[in-house]
Chains A and B, each alone.
Chain A
Amino acid sequence: MKILVPVKRVVDYNVKVRVKNDQSGIELDNVKMSMNPFDEIAVEEALRLKEKGIASEVIAISIGVTQVQETIRNALAMGADSGIFVEVKDTLEPLTVAKIIASIAKKENIDLMILGKQAIDDDMNATGQMISALLNWPQATFASKVEITDKIAKVSREVDGGTENIEITLPAVITTDLRLNEPRYASLPNIMKAKKKTINEIKIDDLKIDITQKLETLKVEEPSKREAGIMVKTVKELFDKLQNEAKVI
């Protein structure tokens, strides 16, 4: 069984993001970038399936500028077998990303795709679902437990009311939630081995898919700052403010 794990390079979760001066996006210069934490969980789950003998091969894929190869390298250092790099200069919207990954999944005869439920940069929570629709594969999103036997994946999903248990038939898409596992640290031998593993570069033109972007970013701005509070003198004044200014009662 071949598992494809899409990994995204995002601003490190420790970094406080800043909006660019021209409001066209987020400041990325001088900023530490890392693998999306949910994708780390996805890599970990794929590796555990391989270690259990259920999967035979784990491939990490990333799409973006040259540096996303570092993120692929991270996945290889954790233990993935090989990588796929699709070079794209612009930021892509989820549908385009989903189209690229779906077309590569078909080419590579992938049996299972595991990816983060969302990326912590734009929190879209869309790519996994779109891939599933494009490939017409079943999906199990927000997974907190995965068991696979004979082409059937039993997945526990994190839903508002608690946990939902479902079964899906492979090939399928699983997106990971935080509780699924705790990703491993890459060992030093594996970091060194990762240098020798292959990352295949695929040209976007060769995929022959329509990558016209349909979303347009008008402006990015910071959430409005919380204003300083005031001390009210009486309960009556408080009541008045809540009723007439805040209009909440």
Chain B
Amino acid sequence: MAYKSPIEDTQFILENLLPPHNKLDNSTIYAVLEEAGKLADNFLAPLNHFGDKNNPILRQDHEVETPKGFSNAFSEIAKGGWIGVASDANYEGMGLPLRMGAAINEYWHGANMSFSLCSLLTQGLIDAFTLIGTEEEKKLYLPKFNSGIWTGTMNLTENQSGTDLATIRTKAEYDGKNWRIRGQKIYITYGEHDMSENIIHLVLARAEGAPEGIKGISTFIVPKFLKNKDGKYTKRNDLKCVSIEHKMGIKASPTAVMLYGEEEGAIGYMLGEEGRGIEYMFIMMNRARFDVGLQGMAISEAARQKALEYANMRIQGTPINREKGTPIIGHGDIKRLLLSMRSLTEAMRALILVSSEIMERSHNGDTNASLQEAFLIPIIKGWSTELAQEITSNGVQIHGGMGFIEETGAAQYMRDARILPIYEGTNAIQANDFMFRKTLRDNGEAAKLFLTQMNLDCNDNPQITKMIKLTSSTLDYILNNRDDQELLSCICFDYLMGFGYLVGGWLMHKAKIKANIKLSNNPKNEIFLKSKIVSADFYNLHILPRISTHLEIVKNGANIVKLTKDSYI
């Protein structure tokens, strides 16, 4: 059995944990999920292992060939209108709420993360143009992106500028008519490929005469093909892919080194205002980080399914109190691993989808929702991608020796997942962001609001209320030590993880309540609902205790890190 989009759980969460949306009834939700699931299962999943083995090729003419079948699969997704699911209907998007975009994105990434990065990046550009673009730019670019005829990339990183973008050296000079871009960018996902007619690069560069540091950076639209005299986009711009990276995972996704302006300078158009490049990137960054957290959840689900299938088939040793011939799923420790994979993945899915609804409100100008969104983003990115490491690794573990052999595909999930805590802001950045911007900047207000809400929702769950109290007192500790930033930076990771597990527990508790109500009405999906309750109970007993470990580290573990001299490390 290959990957199957987890439609039942998506549907359960959308219907039970999110407030309804006036554009969506349950049958529409189901029809959309069902069809997207079919595409993901039938088109993308079969290409996942193949792409890992047959990587993109950079040709002598600087064009990149993606693995066989990718181009066809991309046009199938694009033709079906699936790229612009949640984008503005005035520019040929589908105009569905973000929750549907998020739900469907899980299936793409679960089926084939390497492949789906191309549409993910393109969706990022759709967001950028929707927020910042002029009317003219929107009319030109958005329909092309929504239909997948053009795709997009983000060009931030340079050799010396990774996390610190203030040191960017790529230059933009105005020649009286156009901006000319010159410089080299690295780690450009789908920077060159053969799946679309044109590739639009968003490039961070320093305009001539601009100040040093982040205030001097602007964003430029740099298309691979420019408009020719005949109105067609066939005129090659002065940019090329000079290399693609050999990577540990997501191998089917071409990660390009892009060279701009080797000859006359690549023609670029400034997006938005000069000097606001970093600010724009941060607007988009929220969505990008959300998407990376979503990838963590999606690949965890895929790893879980594979491990479950193997555990149901592999016979090795007779499990205690079971009859001979029982597969390894009967062993207590294998059951434990599988349950933890399931319950963590479901908690992540709940977090992602519940947050997508908060983001819908935030985009509509609800300032309260914006605060909540800002608070949740580092948890979504940091916590989910850390869990993805554990879950994909457990997926390998359940396969035993076969997990270490590439043939099973379990190892690929683990390698693919490894990029997630790194890109779009490492998890160290997430943890610092969570501590300093999201918690201390508003004196812990947002954190306290969440704790109050959780307390209300979980007053009948002693395990969670205990952890809420513990988190509360930890928050006090953090607020009391707010002046010692070095100290707090040493334990911000544990604070993030502790809070993440708590949010997960809260949502699993809510899911359990709903599942119980449904079960009392003689439902058709009894097995699913009972599994949901098991997942929530397992979370309570096996996952929640992790919170106290993390929070104990927050309270007691900072000084040993802070005071240790580098030479003792």
Contacts and interface: CB of A to CB of B under 8 A. Distances in A.
A30 interface: yes
Nearest to B1: A14
Nearest to A77: B31
Contact of A185 (B31, B80, B525, B527): B80
B28 interface: yes
Given A30-B525, A189-B94, A194 B31 contact: yes
A191 interface: yes
Interface string B489-510: 0000000000000000000000
Contacts of A24: none
Contacts of A194: 31
A186 interface: yes
A29 B524 contact: yes
B35 A192 contact: no
B473 to A, nearest CB: 45
Contact of B85 (A29, A73, A188): A188
A191 B23 CA distance: 13
A194 B85 CA distance: 16
A183 to B, nearest CB: 11
A247 B81 CA distance: 61
Nearest to A73: B31
A201 B31 CA distance: 21
Contacts of B32: 188, 191
B38 A185 contact: yes
B480 interface: no
Interface string B26-40: 011011100100110
Contacts of B39: 185
Interface string A162-202: 00000000000000000000000111110110110000000
Contacts of A29: 524
Interface string B56-84: 00000000000000000000100111100
B526 interface: yes
Residue with the greatest number of chain A CB neighbours at <10 A, chosen from B31, B39, B81, B85: B31
Interface residues of A, number: 15
Given A30-B525, A192-B94, A187 B31 contact: no
Contacts of B76: 185
A70 interface: yes
Contacts of A30: 524-527
A186 B35 contact: yes
A188 B27 contact: no
B2 to A, nearest CB: 10
A191 B79 contact: no
B38 A189 contact: no
B27 A187 contact: no
B457 to A, nearest CB: 29
A191 B27 contact: no
Contact of B27 (A73, A185, A189): A73
Contacts of B525: 30
A188 B79 CA distance: 9
Interface residues of B, number: 20
Contacts of A195: 27-28
Contacts of B79: 187
Contacts of A188: 32, 35, 80-82, 85, 94, 96
A187 B28 contact: no
A195 B79 CA distance: 20
A74 B94 CA distance: 19
B98 to A, nearest CB: 15
Nearest to A70: B27
A148 B526 CA distance: 49
B14 to A, nearest CB: 16
A191 B31 CA distance: 7
Interface string B258-273: 0000000000000000
A77 B35 contact: yes
Interface string B306-339: 0000000000000000000000000000000000
A10 B39 CA distance: 20
Interface string A116-130: 000000000000000
Contacts of B96: 188
B342 to A, nearest CB: 18
A192 B82 contact: no
Nearest to B527: A30
A192 B527 CA distance: 30
Given A73-B27, A185-B76, A191 B35 contact: yes
Interface in A206-242: none
A74 B31 CA distance: 8
Contacts of B82: 188
Nearest to A187: B80
Nearest to B104: A188
A77 B36 CA distance: 13
Residue with the greatest number of chain B CB neighbours at <10 A, chosen from A74, A188, A191: A188
Contacts of B527: 30
Given A30-B526, A30-B527, A192 B85 contact: no
A29 B526 CA distance: 9
Interface in B74-118: 76, 79-82, 85, 94, 96
A12 to B, nearest CB: 11
Nearest to B92: A189
Interface in A69-103: 70, 73-74, 77
A74 B82 CA distance: 17
Interface in B168-209: none
A70 B82 CA distance: 21
A36 to B, nearest CB: 15
B566 to A, nearest CB: 55
Given A70-B27, A192-B28, A195-B28, A185 B81 contact: no
15 contacts: A29-B524, A30-B525, A70-B27, A74-B31, A185-B39, A185-B80, A186-B31, A186-B35, A187-B81, A188-B81, A188-B85, A191-B35, A192-B94, A194-B31, A195-B28
Interface of A: 29-30, 70, 73-74, 77, 185-189, 191-192, 194-195
**Which 9 pairs of residues, A with B, have the shortest CB-CB distance?**
A188-B81, A187-B80, A186-B35, A189-B81, A187-B81, A191-B31, A188-B94, A185-B39, A29-B524
Given A185-B35, A191-B31, 14 more contacts: A29-B524, A70-B30, A73-B31, A74-B31, A186-B80, A188-B32, A188-B35, A188-B80, A188-B82, A189-B81, A189-B94, A191-B28, A192-B28, A192-B94
